[in-house]
Structure 1
Amino acid sequence: MKHFKRTAIASVINLALFGIPDAHADTEALERRIRELESRLEKLDHAGVLSNKPVTSAPEVEKLTRKVNTLERKLEVQDEVTASTFSKLPVFDAGADGFKITSADKEHQVRIRGAVQADGRFFIDDNSKAQDSKHNDLYRQNDRFEIRQARIWLEGYFFKNIFYKIMPDFAAGSNILPDAYLDYAYHPAASLLVGKYKPSISLERLQGDSDGTFLERGFPTYLAPNRDVGIQLHGAFSKPGYKTETVAGPIDSKNTFIYQIGVTNGTGDDGSPNNDAKDTDDNKEIDGRLFAHPFQHTGYSWLEGFGLGVAGSVGNPNKQALKPQSTPIGRSIFLDYTKVNSGFATPTSDGATYRIYPQAYWYSGPFGAIGEYVVSSQHLVSGNTNVKQNNTAWQILASYVVTGEDNSFSGVKPIRNFDPFNGRWGALQLAARYTQLDVDNDTFRILDPNKSASGAKAWTIGANWFLNSNAIIRADYENVSFDGGAAKGGNRPNEQVFATRFQLAF
């Protein structure tokens, strides 16, 4: 009697603890049936039907045994179905890295991310008395608050190695889709990237848009394309004996040796096509980049984060529009291709172009530095005038995390998140930069030298307060001096700007 009672009770407990979704009614019916069988057994026991003889000698008991065994097996099957169902459910994860939905077999993933940059720019001593013919102040800039970025994007992968990224930016005017690409990263040594992305040319441009040291990038960045549409073959190799990491997208700062070669429509210096912009000719731009971390896995920890390389591009645009050049932090135009000498039309880029970008960075503990140089050559055509323009730019920046955290190309992660009531203040990074751009003198055969500067030099200091790995408060001061750009061959007044940003990125 006790054996059957224990079996029945165990079955009820199994039902209670491991109930099957959509089977609640069946479970209640099974419980009722077990209670009925248990009651009948007790009645038989009281009536003396059961004895010390083997339970198989009583037909009624055999019948009840078969029924209980059937019920137990049914419960076991339901448990197996439940376990199988739960094993197929996706995994939901939410945290500092965004929101992720990953399939149970880890073959597919959708990740939701976002970034907001709220800026303030305040121009110091910009009350120049210089005015145009309509009495407008020539060099005055308005203090302003602005939303520099407002992005929500999807990224992830399907079947483990088909990666994707779709990133709209609601603060970017007409160009609301900076990134939209697929990357078939079947093997680390050879991946195929297709879509709209950052061409792999300028080092600082390749740094994440939320990971930079200053609010805006230095002059060399603006002689390279911002975004373009095309196709890129890229890959990486590690030191023998070490695993090569699979890195999707145009940015790789992890592996020992990295190569990238692509073909794009071509957008010109600092260019980025609008969402519906079509290429205007058959000419395409070819870009390539080689980058290495020569001391990776050598045991010299202070050199592990040293990387150097070279990038470049060649093209042959046909009457491509020229984008003006602006100061880094203030974003004030100082080279305007629409301000031409009398008798000239606005020039376009028409003919052979090339860029050469030697570049390097070094990160060791709390210290970090980036340096790059660029030569950007193109032909300016205005009517019958053809000018070969060779512009150059360079920069060197250094930063130091005074609170002791590691510096890196992908940003700083505080050891202790901001929590002042518990004596935690996040991480503090201090930085300085010098950057310079020189415009080819032949440019001013077409452009008016009284309205565009032939060169600009900027020095910048900044502080970044990392509240946690997602939230940063930045503050920069920049002083820019110009060569020319004012009436009668004079120099345009210096631009001084203080800028700050509150950024959240996840």
Structure 2
Amino acid sequence: MIQQTRARLLLTTGLTLFAASPAFADNGPDPRIEALERQIEALRSEVETLKAEKAAPAPRQAEAVKFSPVPQWTSADKAFSLKLRGRVELDTAFFDVRRGARDFNNGTELRRARLGIDGKLFTDWAYRLEADVAAGSRDDSSGSELDVKDAYIQYAGLPHLTITAGQHKTPNGLDQLTSSTNLTFLERASFSEAFLDRRNAGGDFKLGVSARYAQDIWSLTAGIFGENTAVTGSAGADEGYGFHGRATVTPVNTDRNLIHLGVSGFWRNTGGRETVRFGDRPEVRVDNARLVDTAAIAADSYTFLGGEVIGASGPLFLQGEYGRTSVNRPSGFANVSFDGGYVAAGWFLTGERLPYKDGVLGRLEPKRNFSLKDGGWGAWQLAARYSRLDLDDEAVRGGRSKNVTLGLNWYANPYVRVLFNWVRFDTERQGVETDGDAFATRLAVNW
């Protein structure tokens, strides 16, 4: 506006000088007149340009919409985003009992059915909200039809540091931290479910605050956590709390080879409940019975310490974990300790490499997605796992289990996969043996 006013004043001044000049009446051309004419023309052009710029609408910054495979909205400056997320997992299982009187239920189960959103705010802030409506993944026994998983806000405006507040996973265990969409087998190993399951407040999704500092080859995460939202304040009891941490190092991570090492642990107070419980099913969830189970045991606090390792070369990989939980019991009860672990191996028949990102297993992308039109067959994987869990110590006789799992997995594309597991389980609890085989499949879709 100031420039436009200035131009108008200059134009008016120039015309006045031109009209008042003595050379105006001369017959011959005057250089001064020609100079003034050129100046007037330039000023007129400047005025017209300013008028056009003022009248023209300001350019709009278009927002980008991406489908991968669901809509994701991102602002032009990439400071804001919103993405739909979710997963559906349908399991089918059949049991054959070799020893024992247990009658397992054959059939199907909607293992997970999650819907949620995540995105960014002002570049440095991130958020996520996700809930599960499937009964097979419910955290409590209240009959609630909605189970909140992630519900947090995250700040990543400092170099290498990420701070998360809200309900999110505690930094414990490779298997537990890996998303169910990226697990090699249908279920996590028994030791992971027994010691880090959220229903006994040991790990997994909990309300808390954590900070993760990560460099190229190592990371350190620590936080303080209460309980899962499904059990917080249950039965009028004071909420339990604990301190959790994990450290990882990845000395080798190339296109072909990978070495990952990690250790994690926690100390937790049991709160007003003053009990803790450990147990698991035979690594298949269609039948919900726990074959090994300590039941509720009196406890003031308990600790967990576990180690983890991954080694991969080309399409082959090895993975293992070991963990030990110690329970500090009230006066008059002997303290007890339990342990367990697993070792797993896999081979991608179609040549893919074990996906790895940020200290956990990531999403597999087949070299060629399945397509009858284009001739792709997706990715195929053979896998095997041996796991054990010991819940017997002192007067607590929770039982012992040994499981061997063989798996064949088909990844049609990065978002659709089918898993086949044969689990041979051998358990003993308080002198009662239950041995058998479970044949289970999962159809999984995630986005």
**In 2: Cα distance, 1:407 partner to 1:283 partner:** 37
1:289/1:310 contact within 8 Å kept: yes
**In 2: Cα distance, 1:371 partner to 1:420 partner:** 37
Render the CA deviation track for 1:383-420: whole Å, top value 9, x for unaligned.
x7513221101101111110112221213211211112
1:320 paired residue among 275, 278, 284: 275
- Taking only aligned residues, the RMSD between alpha carbons, in angstroms, comes to 2.8
Which residue in 1 is equivalent to 2:150?
Answer: 179
2:148/2:229 contact within 8 Å kept: no
Q: CA deviation at 1:277?
A: 4.2
Q: Is residue 2:86 matched to residue 1:114?
A: yes
Render the CA deviation track for 1:194-225: whole Å, top value 9, x for unaligned.
11111111111111120000010102312122
The 1:275/1:129 distance shift into structure 2, 3 A limit, reads closer
Q: Is residue 2:67 matched to residue 1:94?
A: yes
Render the CA deviation track for 1:430-487: whole Å, top value 9, x for unaligned.
110000001133143xx5xxxx5x21000001111111111001111101101344xx
AA at the equivalent of 2:64: V
Larger RCO of the pair (alpha carbons < 8 Å, separation 6+):
2
**In 2: Cα distance, 1:428 partner to 1:437 partner:** 30
> What are the within-5 Å matches in structure 2 for residues 146-157 of structure 1?
146-157=109-120
> What are the within-5 Å matches in structure 2 for residues 427-446 of structure 1?
427-444=379-396
**In 2: Cα distance, 1:394 partner to 1:462 partner:** 18
Greater Cα offset, 277-286 or 151-160: 277-286
2:128 paired residue among 162, 165, 168: 165
**In 1: Cα distance, 2:230 partner to 2:436 partner:** 30
Q: CA deviation at 1:323?
A: 5.0
1:372 paired residue among 321, 334, 344: 321
AA at the equivalent of 1:161: D
**In 1: Cα distance, 2:354 partner to 2:167 partner:** 29
**In 1: Cα distance, 2:183 partner to 2:120 partner:** 26
**In 1: Cα distance, 2:115 partner to 2:231 partner:** 16
1:419 paired residue among 371, 378, 386: 371
1:162/1:183 contact within 8 Å kept: yes
Render the CA deviation track for 1:44-96: whole Å, top value 9, x for unaligned.
xxxxxxxxxxxxxxxxxxxxxxxxx99998776555x152xx22x32211123
* Partner SS state of residue 183, structure 2: coil
* Partner SS state of residue 295, structure 1: strand
**In 1: Cα distance, 2:206 partner to 2:239 partner:** 15
Q: Is residue 2:192 matched to residue 1:221?
A: yes
1:284 paired residue among 238, 241, 264: 241
1:99/1:113 contact within 8 Å kept: no
Which residue in 2 is equivalent to 1:307?
Answer: 260
2:391/2:400 contact within 8 Å kept: yes
The 1:76/1:198 distance shift into structure 2, 3 A limit, reads same
1:180/1:195 contact within 8 Å kept: yes
Render the CA deviation track for 1:241-272: whole Å, top value 9, x for unaligned.
xxxxxxxxxxxxxxx1100011112x5xxxx4
> What are the within-5 Å matches in structure 2 for residues 290-369 of structure 1?
290-296=247-253, 302-303=256-257, 305-318=258-271, 319-322=274-277, 324-330=279-285, 331-338=288-295, 347-369=296-318
The 1:476/1:78 distance shift into structure 2, 3 A limit, reads farther
Could you state the TM-score of these two structures normalised by the residue count of structure 2?
0.78
Which residue in 2 is equivalent to 1:144?
Answer: 107
1:264 paired residue among 221, 225, 232: 225
Which residue in 2 is equivalent to 1:250?
Answer: none
* Partner SS state of residue 210, structure 1: helix
1:501 paired residue among 428, 439, 442: 442
**In 1: Cα distance, 2:442 partner to 2:391 partner:** 30
**In 1: Cα distance, 2:289 partner to 2:424 partner:** 12
Q: CA deviation at 1:295?
A: 2.6
1:491 paired residue among 433, 438, 446: 433
The 1:155/1:502 distance shift into structure 2, 3 A limit, reads same
The 1:349/1:166 distance shift into structure 2, 3 A limit, reads farther
Q: CA deviation at 1:316?
A: 2.8
* Partner SS state of residue 422, structure 1: coil
**In 1: Cα distance, 2:250 partner to 2:298 partner:** 36
Higher relative strand content: 2
The 1:125/1:335 distance shift into structure 2, 3 A limit, reads closer
1:188/1:236 contact within 8 Å kept: no
**In 2: Cα distance, 1:313 partner to 1:412 partner:** 30
Q: CA deviation at 1:276?
A: 5.8
The 1:399/1:440 distance shift into structure 2, 3 A limit, reads same
The 1:499/1:188 distance shift into structure 2, 3 A limit, reads farther
Greater Cα offset, 468-477 or 167-176: 167-176
Which residue in 1 is equivalent to 2:164?
Answer: 193
Which residue in 2 is equivalent to 1:36?
Answer: none
- Structure 1 runs not aligned, ≥5 long: 1-68, 131-138, 239-255, 339-346
**In 1: Cα distance, 2:303 partner to 2:259 partner:** 27
* Partner SS state of residue 181, structure 2: coil
Render the CA deviation track for 1:76-135: whole Å, top value 9, x for unaligned.
6555x152xx22x32211123x32111121111111111111111111246x673xxxxx
Which residue in 2 is equivalent to 1:64?
Answer: none
Which residue in 1 is equivalent to 2:425?
Answer: 480
Render the CA deviation track for 1:147-206: whole Å, top value 9, x for unaligned.
111111111110111111101011134361011111111124322111111111111111
The 1:78/1:471 distance shift into structure 2, 3 A limit, reads farther
What percent of counterpart residues are identical? 24
Q: CA deviation at 1:495?
A: 2.6
Which residue in 1 is equivalent to 2:348?
Answer: 401
Could you state the TM-score of these two structures normalised by the residue count of structure 1?
0.69
* Partner SS state of residue 327, structure 1: coil
**In 2: Cα distance, 1:404 partner to 1:187 partner:** 38
1:177/1:275 contact within 8 Å kept: no
